[in-house]
Structure 1
Amino acid sequence: MWTALIEHAQQKHRFLDQLCTLCSGEFVGKGGTIHCKRGCSGCCSLNVRCTLTEAVALAPHLNDNQIEAIHLHAEKLKQIDRDNNDLKNFLKASREQVGPCPLLDADGACSVYAYRPLACRALLSTMDPHYCTLDFSTLSSEEKQAFMAQLDQESVNFPTHYLAMPQQIAQAAEMECLEKMKQAFGVTVTGNLPYLLDLELTLKVSEKLAENRRIQELTGNTKSESFLIGVDIP
């Protein structure tokens, strides 16, 4: 089952990559600039959510150092999750207390770039990477207005500075991947990328789901509204 799910997700990855190339070209062609480049890593400080299928596909490609980094990162995330009942506070604490994606290399580049999930592939910044790490809650109303005035509202996912089309296509692709998972296992699972990787590496959730084990039993998550994982049982 997982082989087919992973192959389907990889097809979506390839399609999105092609779309991103087209969207970037069109935006640059009308005078815009895509600021993403190797090592900028601003968006890697965001809370990356993905499908369990994508995490299962990525896990076999991790080396020992990456696995250790994933475990340490996930433990910190779980503590932040336990301590926060508000999503905004959770996201702020994740950035400030846990830090960026544990899969960044020493140069700030993604060490698993070929296997990154749809959510990562879809982020194309139309403004300087400084804005990808900026806490907009700290800005004055005048500064926020000045930022929004610079945005090409026809192209971006307003009020963010990321191109809209790749994100829209990525969301649709995620829904298709989740539908495939529901057909296979009767459940859909999304969540924080490092957390899902930790679950797969430590608990082998892919194998357990194939054995018809309930995801709640596997995670041991007793918090009713975890910000780290989302489980939908139709």
Structure 2
Amino acid sequence: MNAVLRQAVIKAHGQLERRTAAYLGERRVRVSCGKGCFACCSAWVVVGLAEAEYLREALEASQPEVLARVEAEGPKRLRRLAQQKNRPDFPTLYFLEDNPCPLLTPEGACSAHAYRPLACRGVLTNLSPRYCAPGVVPGLRGREKDTYLGQLEPWHGPEHYLKLPWQLSERTAQKLWATEQQVRGFTVIGELVGLMYLLGQPDFRAALQNGLAATLKVLRGRRLLGGQFGFWAG
């Protein structure tokens, strides 16, 4: 991985952590997220190329068994994306299916927590973790729904997640993508596990070395480009 981009990823992660900690301290908000709480790890996570490279490097160096799970899962996600990238409900449908991230340990902890991407770092709540499970909030009725809604504050959203950390993670990711475009000349944005898998494929690695046009050709050949939720490169 390019050393400049590696430092850019590390810097972005640190900035988000510090800003989030400052916000929680000012608000006196204590998050309920913790080890063994992993419902959000069934979400469809979108990252830029640099973060996928950074995470893959970490797994290659210290957790090859976890990387093997990523390699096994990646093709499945890419095939599904190629088929359903135009479905407007695709991310919601995927989350409701409760597909666990291959980075999870059997105990429900993130095996790459220190290297997790910005999209994961921005998902925090101070309400009960039970609300994070796929399908729970849409399924609330009657008194349970009233209890849930009564706990929401203006600084929540979407749903019971903390709004500012979510927004900070998105803005920080966008800045990181812009940095990569300046350093590499382009970036690729797509689903985390699928992108990590592609980084292990010879044709994709060679395309990255040959520039944007070659990279677009490989992604187009795999039917991953475009659509509402497909990969983007530029």
Are 1:114 and 2:114 counterparts? yes
Matches within 5 A, 1:134-145: 134-135=134-135, 136-140=137-141
Contact 1:80 1:90 in 2 (8 A): no
2:87 match: 86
Deviation at 1:140, TM superposition (A): 5.0
Deviation at 1:197, TM superposition (A): 0.5
Q: Identity across aligned pairs (percent)?
A: 28
Q: Distance in 2 between matches of 1:5 and 1:45?
A: 28
Amino acid across the alignment from 1:3? A
Q: Distance in 2 between matches of 1:114 and 1:101?
A: 16
CA deviation string 1:65-112 (max 9, x = no partner): 212211222222123224423141354135517x11100111111101
Q: Distance in 2 between matches of 1:177 and 1:207?
A: 23
Q: Distance in 2 between matches of 1:204 and 1:66?
A: 23
Q: Which runs of 5+ in 2 are unaligned?
A: none
1:212 match: 211
- Name the stretch that deviates more: 66-75 or 210-219: 210-219
2:71 match: 71
Go from structure 1 to structure 2 and tell me whether the alpha carbon gap of 1:226 and 1:163 turns closer, same or farther (over 3 Å shift). Answer: closer
Go from structure 1 to structure 2 and tell me whether the alpha carbon gap of 1:117 and 1:145 turns closer, same or farther (over 3 Å shift). Answer: same
Q: Distance in 2 between matches of 1:15 and 1:60?
A: 21
1:149 match: 150
Amino acid across the alignment from 1:93? Y
Q: Which runs of 5+ in 1 are unaligned?
A: none
Q: Distance in 1 between matches of 2:145 and 2:66?
A: 37
Among candidates 44, 56, 62, match of residue 47 of structure 1:
44
Go from structure 1 to structure 2 and tell me whether the alpha carbon gap of 1:9 and 1:64 turns closer, same or farther (over 3 Å shift). Answer: closer
Matches within 5 A, 1:1-20: 2-20=2-20
CA deviation string 1:175-219 (max 9, x = no partner): 111111222333232111111110112247466423325222233
Are 1:195 and 2:197 counterparts? no
Amino acid across the alignment from 1:75? P
Q: Distance in 2 between matches of 1:81 and 1:203?
A: 21
Q: CA RMSD in A?
A: 2.5
Amino acid across the alignment from 2:39? G
Q: Distance in 2 between matches of 1:206 and 1:126?
A: 41
- Name the stretch that deviates more: 198-207 or 168-177: 198-207
2:35 match: 38
Q: Distance in 1 between matches of 2:54 and 2:116?
A: 10
Contact 2:199 2:205 in 1 (8 A): yes
Amino acid across the alignment from 1:230? W
Amino acid across the alignment from 2:211? N
Aligned-partner SS, 1:201: coil
Contact 2:97 2:134 in 1 (8 A): no
2:173 match: 174
Residue correspondences, number? 226
Deviation at 1:24, TM superposition (A): 2.5
Deviation at 1:173, TM superposition (A): 1.3
Deviation at 1:172, TM superposition (A): 1.6
